[in-house]
Amino acid sequence: MGHANHNPFKVNLLSSLLLATALLAFASSTANGQDAGARADAYLACPAAGIALWIPAPRRAPSPPDDPTLIVMERDPIDVRWAGDDDWIDPRAVPEDVLSDPETWIRPASVREEHEAVRGQAVAEFPAGSPSVLLFQRTEHWAWHSESTVAVRFPDGSWRVDYVQRYDDGTVRRDQRTLDSEASRRMDELVSDPCLAREPFVSEFAHVTSSDNTRWTLEVDDGSLTTRIAGRDSGFGRAGAIIYLLLGGTAF
């Protein structure tokens, strides 16, 4: 179940040396970071961080009295916690065959044009600033829709989130909010963590998922480096934690 008090940013000296060695190997890779072996070594040297999710299996609920043939399903709330070492390795957050697959390390293309299209149709400006985080989601299920989430860090240390959702029938919803101090602190840690850029660029392999109908692209600009990670469902680790906070999750 992981360690509730685990702090992923306190690494002992040995782990620090291993991480530094792996990152140097990663930086000097002749494949400019695309070599699967070098990238996997750099990732595996990073400590556990981000979120671990436990999503209860759905169960049958009583049918309403006026329609006893109606099938109703329900589930308990998702358990979200800060990842501990046990969550990272048992089972391993990223399977070995995924780490060794070169396609895991192919950088996703920017989806800024998709953000601009959704926001243009909703007549919503594109927030500017740095550091910033962009999340584009496309869901194709009962109702198809696209979502553009842009978060910018302000000088006072808070993160302002601007969310736009547009359904294919033209319905638009917009929400603007500010992360509280604890969530903003968590976001700072995640965005500035050098291991974010070491996580796999494709996370469809996440061993815990909430839906198989949503695909997303996360783009993080920390002021000096832009990292893009694409995936499906809830994701995992640092990228998954950023998405969780962007979408209204509370600090944990």
Respond yes or no on whether the N-terminal peptide bond of residue 102 is cis (omega within 30° of 0): no
Residue 3 lies in a domain: no
Give pLDDT, residue 92.
Answer: 66
> For residue 177, what are the domain limits?
13-246
Nearest CA to 84 among 46, 47, 138? Answer: 47
Cα 33 from Cα 29, distance rounded (Å) = 6
Mean pLDDT per 10-residue run, the chain (252 residues)? 34 45 43 71 84 66 87 70 64 77 91 95 92 92 87 96 93 94 93 92 61 82 91 80 85 56
On whether residue 229 sits in a domain, the answer given is yes
Give domain status of residue 167, yes or no.
yes
Q: What is the largest CA-CA distance in the chain?
A: 68
- Is residue 151 a part of any domain in this protein? yes
CA distance linking residue 214 with residue 206, whole number of Å: 13
1 found inside a domain: no
Cβ–Cβ under 8 Å, residues 50 and 229: no
Number of domains in the chain: 1
| Residue 181 included in any domain | yes
**Whole-Å CA distances, 42 to 27, 35, 58:** 9, 11, 37
- Nearest 5°: phi and psi at 103? -65, -20
Q: What is the pTM of this model?
A: 0.75
Cα–Cα dist 185/37, whole Å: 33
pLDDT of residue 251: 56
146, part of any domain: yes
Distance between CA 227 and CA 124 in Å, rounded?
24
| pLDDT (0 to 100) of residue 211 | 52
The pLDDT, as a whole number, for residue 95 is 76
| Helix/strand/coil (H/E/C) assignment for every residue in the chain | CCCCCCCCCCCCHHHHHHHHHHHHHHHCCCCCCCCHHHHHHHHHCCCCCCEEEECCCCEEECCCCCCCCCCEEECCCCEEEECCHHHHHCCECCCHHHHCCHHHHCCCCCCHHHHHHHHHHCCCCCCCCCCEEEEEEEECCCCCEEEEEEEEECCCCCEEEEEEEEECCCCEEEEEEECCHHHHHHHHHHHHCHHHHHCCCECCCCCCCCCCCEEEEEEEECCCCEEEEEEECCCCHHHHHHHHHHCCCCCC
Q: Quickly tell me which residue has 């998702």 as its tokens.
A: 78
Specify if 31 maps to a domain. Answer: yes
Decide: 165 and 172 in contact? Cβ < 8 Å.
yes
Sequence-distant (≥ 6) Cβ neighbours of residue 182 within 8 angstroms = 251
Within its chain, how far is the Cα of 30 from the centroid?
A: 28
Pairwise CA distance, residues 252 & 241, whole Å? 10
pLDDT at residue 4, rounded to an integer: 32
